[in-house]
């Protein structure tokens, strides 16, 4: 994608009459026919916060800059996207919108986490930003600062130069990580701030100065599975709180693996609650974190969120997508329909690996929620996997043998397999997770399991196995745990491929394996 750097002299021409962009702001035109908006892997955009101003749809985003294999939020600055129509695909991208140290003299550079811009009762724009407080003596140094500007495009000045408006020690002590602010300016001009993460959500009314607490914060405990990323908005007199939820388990309506998040929501008839949980509106995305921003624009509702779908994307290289939000107004309060994620995935190519067409189960099902059984056949091997990027069997007391199993709806012909193990301990360990001492495959004959004769390596990287073709509905990989002669290590695998003699195009199936073949 060609990068067009517009000169500062052109910028005023692009701006609407009432929006005076910061003349120093670099911008470029982007055509994004599909999600994610910036998909080429040059600029990763995160934690979207849309705002409608001067007839435009803006999305404030963070920037992920983690190197491949680094599992950390390396986020030095915020970016901005703007369009006259989110469905047009025509965007203006401001790649270097704000850095923490540009607005807040008391903030350290980096950790430019999820922020939001809202228009205050005085019609000025307020930028709520979690940043690290320089020299903080709090246990957790995150704090929320507020910038103010006459335009959603800045320039910004600190609205509270004395320091953060929220920290673990200001204005009232708290013990949460003070990030992910979301603000609602109600129709009557009252202002409400919510924020929080790691299962803790706080809310408070602010004075009309947008920075001063009015009363004591409330703790919200009624939003099922709340993890982080709250987003408050109002529609037809009802208050809605969307959030990243991580109530996990094989039967959970939210997420199978705890690191992943659904976007759930609740409603309330007043801005400080009480909140009633209403369900899931966005299924887990391809990144572990999920983060909603929801606004109405020209009569339609949109959600901006991020995922790992861009070129080179990952859990720490996320990219913003926008999709429409539809409502069920037949009930009161109106419910949000499950968002259809429009994803631009590469077309499937013929391959010998048909694991994606199988349902999967394992000896340790239900698998502990930090792992993810379906990572086995998701087609992804990562340099530095997180626990949900693999199936694993760790317990404090590991058994001597474990297995994983694929079930196909129809009989398939197989003549090979590949498996990539993961370990934090060397072969021969009796603790932690280690490559198995040995493993083998078995196929279901229709009435019994039959071992498949082959060479079964246990090296780093993919271990390939070839064997005489078998026809079956079920394939099982049986692992003899690594042992030091006293105890047994756990087994973990990032990916297990089941290979057919000829390449075919596979349609992935959802759902876990049935009891068939046992």
**What is the binding site for ligand FUB (CB under 6 A)?**
46-47, 62, 73, 113-114, 179-180, 228-229, 289, 291
Name which of 235, 245, 352, 354 is nearest 291 in CA terms.
Answer: 245
Min dist CB 274 to ligand FUB, Å, is 24
Min dist CB 71 to ligand FUB, Å, is 12
Min dist CB 244 to ligand FUB, Å, is 6
DSSP label of 358: S
Min dist CB 269 to ligand FUB, Å, is 26
Min dist CB 180 to ligand FUB, Å, is 5
Min dist CB 50 to ligand FUB, Å, is 15
Q: Provide the b/e sequence for 272-305 (b: ≥16 CB within 10 Å).
A: bbebebbebbbbbbbbbbbbbbbbebeeeebbbb
**Nearest CB to ligand FUB, comparing residues 49 and 51:** 49
Contact partners, residue 73, CB within 8 Å, separation at least 6: 64, 66, 111, 113, 316
Min dist CB 188 to ligand FUB, Å, is 29
**Nearest CB to ligand FUB, comparing residues 226 and 408:** 226
DSSP three-state, residue 389: helix
**Nearest CB to ligand FUB, comparing residues 229 and 499:** 229
DSSP three-state, residue 12: helix
Q: Which sign, positive or negative, has the C-alpha torsion 314, 317, 323, 327?
A: positive
**Nearest CB to ligand FUB, comparing residues 289 and 463:** 289
**Nearest CB to ligand FUB, comparing residues 165 and 320:** 320
Question: Which residue in the block uniquely carries the two structure tokens 């780093």?
Answer: 460
**Nearest CB to ligand FUB, comparing residues 229 and 491:** 229
Min dist CB 127 to ligand FUB, Å, is 15
Min dist CB 79 to ligand FUB, Å, is 13
**Nearest CB to ligand FUB, comparing residues 46 and 255:** 46
Sequential DSSP letters for 164-190: -SBBTTBSS---S-----EEEE-TTS-
Distances (CA, A) of 119 to 184, 473, 484: 9, 59, 63
**Nearest CB to ligand FUB, comparing residues 50 and 423:** 50
Report the relative pairing of strands 116-119 and 90-98 from DSSP bridges: unpaired
**Nearest CB to ligand FUB, comparing residues 83 and 290:** 290
Distances (CA, A) of 89 to 72, 169, 225, 310, 311: 30, 44, 34, 16, 18
Q: Provide the b/e sequence for 360-398 (b: ≥16 CB within 10 Å).
A: bbbbbeebbbebbbbbbbeeebbeebbbbbbbbbbeeeb
Report the relative pairing of strands 44-53 and 492-504 from DSSP bridges: unpaired
DSSP three-state, residue 24: coil
d(CA 364, CA 433): 15
**Nearest CB to ligand FUB, comparing residues 92 and 289:** 289
Min dist CB 288 to ligand FUB, Å, is 9
**Nearest CB to ligand FUB, comparing residues 116 and 472:** 116
**Nearest CB to ligand FUB, comparing residues 228 and 497:** 228
Element holding 449 (H helix, E strand): strand 449-451
Min dist CB 303 to ligand FUB, Å, is 14
Beta-carbon count within 10 A of 71 CB: 14
> How far does Cα 487 stand from its chain's mean position?
37
Min dist CB 291 to ligand FUB, Å, is 4
Min dist CB 386 to ligand FUB, Å, is 13
DSSP three-state, residue 30: strand
DSSP three-state, residue 109: coil
**Nearest CB to ligand FUB, comparing residues 46 and 133:** 46
Query: What are the respective helix, strand and coil percentages of the chain, to the nearest 5?
Result: 5, 45, 55
Asked if 191 and 198 count as a contact pair (C-beta separation under 8 A), the reply is no
DSSP three-state, residue 231: strand
């Amino acid at each position: 994608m060609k990068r067009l750097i517009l000169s500062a002299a052109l910028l005023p021409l692009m701006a609407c009459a009432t929006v005076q962009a910061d003349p120093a702001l670099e911008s470029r035109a982007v055509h994004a026919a599909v999600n994610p908006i910036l998909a080429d892997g040059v600029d990763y955009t995160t934690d979207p916060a849309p705002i409608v101003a001067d007839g435009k749809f803006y999305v404030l985003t963070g920037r992920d800059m983690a190197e491949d294999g680094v599992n950390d939020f390396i986020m030095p600055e915020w970016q901005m996207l703007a369009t006259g129509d989110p469905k047009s695909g025509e965007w203006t991208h401001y790649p270097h919108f704000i850095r923490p140290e540009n607005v807040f003299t008391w903030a350290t550079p980096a950790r430019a986490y999820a922020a939001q811009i809202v228009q205050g009762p005085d019609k000025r724009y307020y930028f709520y930003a979690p940043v690290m407080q320089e020299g903080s003596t709090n246990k957790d140094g995150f704090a929320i600062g507020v910038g103010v500007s006459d335009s959603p495009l800045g320039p910004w000045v600190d609205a509270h130069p004395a320091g953060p408006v929220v920290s673990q020690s200001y204005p009232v002590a708290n013990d949460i990580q003070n990030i992910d602010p979301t603000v609602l300016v109600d129709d009557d001009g009252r202002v409400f701030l919510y924020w929080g993460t790691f299962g803790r959500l706080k809310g408070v009314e602010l004075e009309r100065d947008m920075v001063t607490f009015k009363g004591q914060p409330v703790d919200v405990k009624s939003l099922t599975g709340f993890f982080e990323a709250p987003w408050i908005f109002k529609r037809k007199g009802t208050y809605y709180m969307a959030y990243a939820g991580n109530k996990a388990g094989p039967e959970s309506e939210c997420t199978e693996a705890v690191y992943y998040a659904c976007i759930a929501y609740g409603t309330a008839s007043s801005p400080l609650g009480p909140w009633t949980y209403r369900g899931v509106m966005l299924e887990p995305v391809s990144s572990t974190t999920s983060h909603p921003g929801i606004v109405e624009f020209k009569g339609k509702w949109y959600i901006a969120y991020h995922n790992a779908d861009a070129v080179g994307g990952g859990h720490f290289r996320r990219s913003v997508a926008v999709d429409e939000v539809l409502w069920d107004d037949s009930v009161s309060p109106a419910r949000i329909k499950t968002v259809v994620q429009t994803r631009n995935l590469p077309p499937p190519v013929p391959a010998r690996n048909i694991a994606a067409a199988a349902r999967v189960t394992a000896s340790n099902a239900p698998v502990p929620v930090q792992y993810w059984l379906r990572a086995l056949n998701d087609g992804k091997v990562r340099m530095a996997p997180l626990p949900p990027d693999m199936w694993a069997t760790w317990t404090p007391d590991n058994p001597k043998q474990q297995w994983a199993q694929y079930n196909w709806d129809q009989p398939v012909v197989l003549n090979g397999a590949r498996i990539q193990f993961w370990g934090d301990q060397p072969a021969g360990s009796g603790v932690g997770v280690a490559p198995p001492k040995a493993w083998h495959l078995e196929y279901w004959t229709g009435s019994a399991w039959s071992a498949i004769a082959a060479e079964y390596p246990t090296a780093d990287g993919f271990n390939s196995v070839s064997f005489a073709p078998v026809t079956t509905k079920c394939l099982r990989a049986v692992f003899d745990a690594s042992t030091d002669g006293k105890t047994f290590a756990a087994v973990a695998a990032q990916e297990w491929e089941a290979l057919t003699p000829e390449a075919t195009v596979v349609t992935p199936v959802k759902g876990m394996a049935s009891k068939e073949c046992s």
